[in-house]
């Protein structure tokens, strides 16, 4: 190689290495915030926070009504959110291809109330469960109320009629597969109003590696990773059994546990279940 070529070759190599290094160190998008609302009404405090997180009332908002059996629920959700000031709130398409395109362009994804298992089964049948999870990882705001809150768990609490509300037993709360957006938490909704402490506690003791989060009506937990901020009118209860002493129990037997932690949060409170 002629000496006159050396500077050009060196420069080319340097530029190549710089490009590779930049690609390796380019920061990845953080997962978007989750808005976990307890049902019973989406207050102005909750909707205002949702808009703030999603970029304002002009954000592209996709509404998922499929937890409800009401065929008009999609239109009703559109009306509700437009009355809140949303300018681009549309119900999700029934066609999977169109629905995926909507989700890909969404800045806010909102799931309504009803039956969380019905909602999850339809999302999974259309391949939209993984699409919502992908959009969350990319930074999209994902929220929901009642069933739309419960579905955000990894282990999703199923319908109220499937839980033993009279005792805290192994397997007393039936769990199914959720969207796994929250990762380390199980959500229960309408929590204080419908006296669901027993069913959430049983679920947590069955899965002690997961933190239980009971969200009251007209209240929302804004979740980023393990960080929680409460907005709305009610409270959020957090049950943590990760360091508790649990006695081995057979299926159907009463749970025995010591050293659980319970935190009661209200509007304005902040909490991190990994840095308590």
Is residue 211 helix, strand or coil? Answer: strand
Asked if the structure places residue 90 within a domain, the reply is: yes
Residue 132 CA: distances (Å) to CA of 34, 82, 127 = 12, 22, 9
Asked if the structure places residue 16 within a domain, the reply is: no
pLDDT of residue 11: 46
Asked if the structure places residue 12 within a domain, the reply is: no
Handedness of CA 6, 12, 15, 21 (dihedral sign): negative
pLDDT of residue 161: 66
Please state, in angstroms and rounded to a whole number, the distance separating the CA atoms of residues 129 and 135: 10
Asked if the structure places residue 3 within a domain, the reply is: no
Q: Which two tokens stand for residue 141?
A: 């705001």
Taking every pair of C-alpha atoms in the chain, what is the biggest distance, in angstroms? Answer: 87
Q: Buried b vs exposed e over 253-267: b needs ≥16 C-beta within 10 Å?
A: eebebeebeebebeb
Asked if the structure places residue 249 within a domain, the reply is: yes
Local confidence pLDDT in tens for the 276 residues of the chain? 445 544 554 445 445 544 444 444 445 679 999 999 999 999 999 999 999 999 999 999 999 999 999 999 999 999 999 999 999 999 999 999 999 999 999 999 999 999 999 999 999 999 999 999 999 999 999 999 999 999 999 999 997 666 777 889 999 999 999 999 998 999 999 999 999 999 999 999 999 999 999 999 999 999 999 999 999 999 999 999 999 999 988 888 999 999 999 999 999 999 999 886
CATH number at residue 129: 3.40.50.880
pLDDT of residue 26: 47
Pairing of strands 219-224, 211-215: unpaired
Asked if the structure places residue 71 within a domain, the reply is: yes
- CA proximity to 256, closest of 157, 168, 187, 196: 168
Asked if the structure places residue 2 within a domain, the reply is: no
| Residue 64: domain span | 28-272
Q: Which two tokens stand for residue 92?
A: 């999700």
Please state, in angstroms and rounded to a whole number, the distance separating the CA atoms of residues 198 and 189: 13
pLDDT of residue 22: 40
Asked if the structure places residue 13 within a domain, the reply is: no
Please state, in angstroms and rounded to a whole number, the distance separating the CA atoms of residues 262 and 189: 17
Task: Tally the domains of the chain.
Answer: 1
Helices (H) and strands (E) in the chain, counts: 8, 16
pLDDT of residue 12: 54
Q: Which two tokens stand for residue 140?
A: 């999209």
At 246, give phi and psi (nearest 5°): -105, 135
- CA proximity to 45, closest of 180, 231, 202, 206: 231
């Amino acid at each position: 190689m002629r000496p006159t070529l050396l500077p050009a070759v060196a420069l080319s190599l340097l530029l190549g290495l710089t490009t590779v290094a930049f690609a390796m160190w380019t920061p990845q998008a953080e997962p978007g915030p989750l808005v976990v609302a307890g049902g019973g009404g989406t207050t102005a405090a909750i909707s205002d926070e949702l808009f703030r997180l999603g970029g304002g009332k002009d954000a592209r908002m996709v509404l998922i009504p499929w937890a409800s059996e009401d065929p008009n629920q999609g239109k009703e959700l559109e009306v509700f959110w437009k009355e809140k000031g949303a300018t681009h709130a549309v119900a999700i398409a029934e066609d999977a291809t169109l629905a995926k395109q909507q989700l890909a362009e969404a800045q806010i994804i909102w799931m309504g109330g009803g039956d969380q298992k019905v909602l999850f089964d339809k999302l999974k049948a259309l391949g939209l469960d993984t699409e919502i999870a992908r959009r969350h990882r990319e930074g999209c705001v994902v929220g929901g109320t009642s069933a739309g809150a419960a579905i955000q768990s990894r282990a999703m609490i199923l319908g109220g009629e499937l839980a033993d509300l009279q005792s805290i037993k192994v397997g007393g709360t039936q769990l199914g597969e959720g969207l796994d957006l929250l990762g380390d938490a199980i959500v229960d909704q309408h929590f204080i109003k419908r006296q669901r402490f027993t069913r959430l506690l049983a679920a947590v003791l069955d899965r002690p590696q997961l933190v239980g989060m009971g969200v009251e009506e007209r209240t929302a937990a804004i979740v980023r990773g393990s960080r929680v901020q409460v907005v709305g009118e009610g409270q959020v209860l957090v049950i943590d059994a990760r360091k508790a002493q649990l006695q081995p129990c057979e299926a159907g037997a009463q749970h025995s546990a010591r050293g659980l932690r319970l935190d009661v949060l209200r509007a304005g409170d902040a909490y991190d279940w990994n840095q308590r």
